[in-house]
Copies of this chain bind each other. A is one copy, B any other.
Amino acid sequence: MTELLQEQQTSTSELIQKAQLAKQASAVLAKSTTKQKNNALRSISAQLLKEQAFILEENSKDIEVGRQNGMSESLLDRLKLDGDRLTEMADALIQLTKLADPVGEVLEKWERPNGLTMSKIRVPLGVVGMIYEARPNVTVDASSLCLKTGNAVVLRGSSTAIHSNKAIVAVIHRALENSELPIDSVQLMEDTSREAASHMFKLNKYLDVLIPRGGAKLIQTVVQNATVPVLETGAGNCHIYIDETATVQMAIDIALNAKIQRPSVCNACESILVHKDWADKHLPLLLSALLAQQVTIHGDESVQKRSPDVIPAKEEDWGTEYLGLEVAMKIVADVSEAIQHINTYGTKHSEAIISKNSENVDQFFMEIDASAVYHNASTRFTDGFEFGFGAEIGISTQKLHARGPMGLPALTSTKYIVRGNGQVK
């Protein structure tokens, strides 16, 4: 047998074995009470703090390997754990116990003329496959959200975080030992090869859903290759459209906030569209506000005319998610042109209009195809916590199942319960 074949079989057998254990655990989890689940979350929270030294020690091994391999400072920062971050993770677990348990909720109930009574109730999805990058906090986050919603989880993190992830999952297992939930509810793939991930993409027999969390490349790899249904948390090419009647200071404040408050996230603004009449009067103010914050502006010809510091926008700029201090800017004739532009280049994430014209706002709300549309507010609010969900699985940019910020209910499915007294068709 070749070495490659042997390796493939090893990864497959680890995956299948762990997915089977997760599947078995999911049957027990599905009937666990809210109290049992919350107790387990509290137990994990306590265990994380108790074994802080162990986790940080293992994490430092990943950091060391990362440094040796020339990992960038920003990636190292994502990878690094410390006492504060662990305390935050432990606190988040306690917060999660305070949220309502969606499982068992009766969504609808009705009776049919033939006497059948029907109800639609929320149930867990079953087994969630979580595929993510070098952020060990996702290991805790994904596990706890899944446990709260009665789902088992198979975790596949990055090889660069393997020591941290193994340590965290070992700690979770020790906490689950003292709980009424199955220890096998949380499974970590130790084989982080591409082959193992490829097998996971197609493991429809055991996995009910795949959730990729990370950059656009990771998500596209999963979407392009998975046969298991995917909850796609996609890229955000978000726009701010400043309409003719926009209040000057409000428009500048919102554009600036959406661009610079945290440029690396998916709900940050990547393009600003400005109504020509507003631009005639106020564009220089907006440009200087952005330039003062070191934002590089890729403008169309009309924008370039207003300032020598604006660089020419190329066609690809309209579709670029900069994730940094850069923005594309275009002057438009009216709200219809803005909508047309956004629906052409946007990623259906979050789009905002700043305006005093309610007709234009209504048109924007109706015609823009996106998960969240804003009037006179920053796109940065597209977030499960800002929406008041108390938790967030991610922000869905697909149209099936869940769209926009996903709270706990996004990790559930439904089941119809039908009661009769002998009805036949």
Residue numbers of A with Cβ under 8 A of B are 27, 30-31, 110, 112, 116, 118, 125-126, 204, 208-209, 223-224, 227, 229-232, 247, 250, 253-254, 256-258, 261, 343, 365-367, 369-378, 380-382, 386-388, 398-401, 403-405, 413-425
The number of times this chain is found in the oligomer is: 2
Q: Which of chain B's residues have a CB closer than 8 A to the CB of A112? A: 386-388
Q: Would you give the shortest CB distance from A35 to chain B, in whole angstroms?
A: 16
Contact A425 B381 (CB under 8 A): yes
**CB pair A343 B27 closer than 8 Å:** yes
Besides A112-B387, A374-B419, A387-B416, 13 new A-B residue pairs in contact (Cβ under 8 A), listed by A number: A27-B367, A30-B369, A112-B388, A118-B387, A208-B400, A229-B230, A254-B422, A372-B415, A376-B420, A376-B421, A376-B423, A378-B423, A381-B418
28 inter-chain pairs at a CB distance below 8 angstroms, sorted by A residue, are: A30-B367, A116-B377, A116-B381, A204-B223, A229-B229, A231-B400, A250-B422, A253-B422, A256-B424, A261-B425, A365-B417, A372-B417, A372-B418, A373-B416, A374-B420, A375-B420, A376-B422, A376-B423, A377-B422, A377-B423, A377-B424, A381-B418, A381-B423, A387-B416, A399-B413, A400-B413, A401-B401, A404-B415
Is A419's CB under 8 angstroms from B253's CB? no
Q: How far is the CA of A230 from the CA of B229 in the complex (A)?
A: 8
With A and B bound together, what is the CA distance between A27 and B363 in angstroms? 12
Which secondary structure dominates where chain A touches chain B?
mixed
- B residues less than 8 Å from A418 (CB atoms): 372-375, 377, 381
Using Cβ atoms and an 8 Å threshold, which residues of chain B touch A223?
A: 204, 227
**Cross-chain contact A377 with B254 (CB below 8 angstroms):** no
Count chain B CB atoms within 10 A of each CB in A223, A224, A378, A399 and give the residue with the most. A399
What's the Cα separation between A382 and B418 when bound, in Å?
10
How many angstroms from the CA of A321 to the CA of B83 in the assembled complex?
56
Assess the B229–A375 pair: CB atoms within 8 A: no
Ordered nearest first, which 5 A-B pairs have the shortest CB separation? Answer: A377-B420, A257-B424, A399-B413, A380-B425, A372-B416
In the assembled complex, the Cα of A116 lies from the Cα of B380 at a distance in Å of 12
Chain B residues whose CB sits within 8 angstroms of the CB of A400 once the complex forms:
125, 208-209, 229, 231, 400-401, 413
Q: How far is the CA of A401 from the CA of B414 in the complex (A)?
A: 9
In whole Å, how far is A117's beta carbon from the nearest beta carbon of chain B?
10
Q: How far is the CA of A227 from the CA of B116 in the complex (A)?
A: 39
Residues of B within 8 Å of A369, CB to CB, are: 27, 30, 126
CA separation between A232 and B371, bound complex, in Å? 23
Cα distance A420–B365 in the bound complex, in angstroms: 13
A42: shortest Cβ distance to chain B, in Å? 25
Which chain B residues border A254 with CB–CB below 8 Å?
422, 424
Judging by beta carbons under 8 Å apart, are B403 and A257 in contact?
Answer: no
User: Which residue in B376, B380, B403, B419 is a CB contact (below 8 Å) of A375?
Assistant: B419
Q: Please name the residue on chain B nearest to A370 by beta carbon.
A: B415
- Docked-complex contact B366 and A31, CB < 8 angstroms: yes
> Least Cβ distance of A3 to chain B in Å?
29
- If A118-B387, A229-B229, A415-B403 touch, whether A424 touches B378 (CB-CB below 8 Å) is yes
Q: How far is the CB of A97 from chain B (nearest CB, A)?
A: 22
Q: Which residues of B contact A231 (CB under 8 A)?
A: 400
Question: Which residues of chain B have C-beta atoms less than 8 A from A366's C-beta?
Answer: 30-31
Give the shortest distance, in Å, between A207 (CB) and chain B (any CB). Answer: 11
Determine the chain B residues whose CB is within 8 A of the CB of A381 once the complex forms.
116, 418, 423, 425
Q: What B residues does A378 contact at CB under 8 A?
A: 423-425
For A420, give the chain B residue with the smallest CB separation: B377
Instruction: List chain B residues, Cβ under 8 A from A365.
Output: 417
Contact indicator A415/B209 (Cβ below 8 Å)? no
